[in-house]
Structures are given as C-alpha cells and as structure tokens.
Amino acid sequence: VLFYSQADSGYSHTFFWSQSSGRLDLGTLGGNWAWADGMNDAGQVFGSSSTATGASHAFFWSESSGMRDLILDGSDWSGIEAMNAAGQVFGSSGTATGASRLFFRSESGGMRDLGSYYFT
C-alpha cells in the first residue's frame, strides 16, 4: 500500500506499507518532499522528490535498493511517465531552457538516453 502523510519534518512524504515490513517512509532525494505516482505488483514505486537544491527529480524505489535518483546528466529536472511490472521506467529529463530528452531505465541496463524531443 502507498500513502502520503506529513513526516516529522512537516512536509509530505510517501509511505509504503506491507504486512511483512510495516510502515516505511520512502524518504526524499535530499529535499523536503516526495510524492509517489505509482507502484507495480512487485512493490516497486516511482514518483518525484525534491532535491537539496529544490529541484524536482524522478525517483525509483524498491525495498531492496531504496530510493534512486533518475535524471540524465546535464538536466535540471526529470519525471517518469510509466513503469511496468519488471520495474522498467520511461520518462523525460530536461533543463530550465527547455531542452528535453527522453529516457528508459532498467535494472540490467541502467539509464539510457533516448534523445531530444520538442513540443510545438
């Protein structure tokens, strides 16, 4: 089960609950808040979190590995669009000036830059 709650810091965090592990605060990527967008049947979670600099980065979380920052090099922000049952994620990463790139991430292959895209 995923749910949001105010953490001791006063900011919203995502919490994961299972019968075997109880309630776990997923934490953040160094910032104040974290929000989950979804979870697959394996209990892997994806969402967004603030960083120590206040930026919004995508994250992937599992009980075995914890929270991982998912952003392409040279980017200011990132977000995940979808995750499948195998924990593979598809998302975008970009800069404040509007340059955006798509990415695919898998456990075996890591982050893969799929190239630039532009909205018109």
Is pLDDT above 90 for 98?
no
> Tokens standing for 101?
């790139």
pTM of the model: 0.87
Q: pLDDT of 26-45, one tens digit each?
A: 999 999 999 999 999 999 99
Mean pLDDT estimate for the chain: 91
Q: pLDDT digits over 61-86, tens only? A: 998 999 999 999 999 999 999 999 99
For residue 29, give both structure tokens. 């990527």
Q: Residues 6 or more apart from 49 whose CB is under 8 A from it?
A: 28, 29, 31, 33, 34, 35, 56, 57, 59, 67
